[in-house]
Chain A
Amino acid sequence: MSKPHISNNIRKLRFLNEELTQQQLAEKVGVTRQTIIAMEQGKYSPSLELSFRIALVFGVPLEEVFSYEAEAEKTNEA
Chain B
Amino acid sequence: MSFQQKNIAVSLVNFTLILGFFLFSVIQMTQSDSFTSANIFRLWGITIGLAIVVTIIGTILTHIVSAIIEAIRTGNDDPKIEDFEDERDQLIDLKGTRVTYTVSSIGVFLSMLTFVFDQPPLVMFTLLIFFGLVAQIVSDISRLVIYRRGF
Residues on A close to B: CB < 8 A? Answer: 30-35, 37-38, 41, 43-44, 46-47, 50
Contact = CB atoms under 8 A, between A and B. Distances in A.
B89 interface: yes
Interface residues of B, number: 12
Question: What is the interface of chain A mostly: helix, strand, loop, or mixed?
Answer: loop
Nearest to A33: B82
Given A32-B2, A34-B2, A41 B150 contact: yes
Contacts, number: 34
Nearest to B82: A32
A19 B151 CA distance: 26
Contacts of B2: 32-34
Nearest to A31: B86
Nearest to B88: A35
B87 interface: yes
Nearest to B83: A32
23 contacts: A30-B86, A31-B88, A32-B2, A32-B4, A32-B82, A32-B86, A32-B88, A32-B89, A33-B2, A33-B82, A34-B88, A34-B147, A35-B86, A38-B88, A38-B150, A38-B151, A41-B150, A43-B150, A43-B151, A44-B150, A44-B151, A46-B87, A50-B87
Interface of B: 2, 4, 82, 84, 86-89, 147, 149-151
Contacts of A33: 2, 82
Contacts of A47: 87
A47 B37 CA distance: 50
Contacts of A44: 88, 150-151
A50 B88 CA distance: 11
A33 B2 CA distance: 9
Interface centre among A31, A41, A47 (most CB of B within 10 A): A31
A60 B149 CA distance: 30
A34 to B, nearest CB: 5
Contacts of A43: 149-151
Contacts of A41: 150
